[in-house]
Amino acid sequence: MAKSRDEIFKEVQAVLVDALGVDEEEVKPESTLMGDLGAESIDFLDIVFRLEKAFGFKIAREELFPIETMMSNPEFVKDGKMTAKGIAEIKAKMPHTDLSAFEKNPDMNKLGDLFTVSSIVNYIETKIK
């Protein structure tokens, strides 16, 4: 049976509360994982493992968080900014993420802002439909 978006959000919220040691109120749809919730790289793996357990299907980390593998590729990243090619690649790989703000200023330091709680909810939603 398909879950409502609200139900998915609640479960994702519970996963993030456990994985990142944050309070429930802090986990809002627009919260960024790295900026607002303090996630580090290993936390992304922890989150993936916990989501798999909560929703009962396999999640490929490079599908949910594909950026890490792209960061070391000079074709995608130049002078601290993401290249047009890189942006196109993210668009293709992360359809569940809102890229409009990042496109205007593709500063790599802003990359963390792309991972929001909603992007996870969007991803789960597309997977269980």
Residues that bind another protein in the complex, under the rule CB under 8 A: 19, 41-43, 45-46, 49, 52-53, 61, 68-69, 71-72
Say how many residues make up the chain. Answer: 129
Q: Are 120 and 9 within 8 A, CB to CB?
A: no
Report, in Å, the least distance between residue 78 CB and another protein.
15
Report, in Å, the least distance between residue 19 CB and another protein.
8
Amino acid at site 50 = R
DSSP 3-state percent helix, strand, coil across the chain (nearest 5):
60, 5, 35
Q: Which residue, 19 or 121, has its beta carbon nearer to another protein?
A: 19
Q: Which residue, 44 or 118, has its beta carbon nearer to another protein?
A: 44
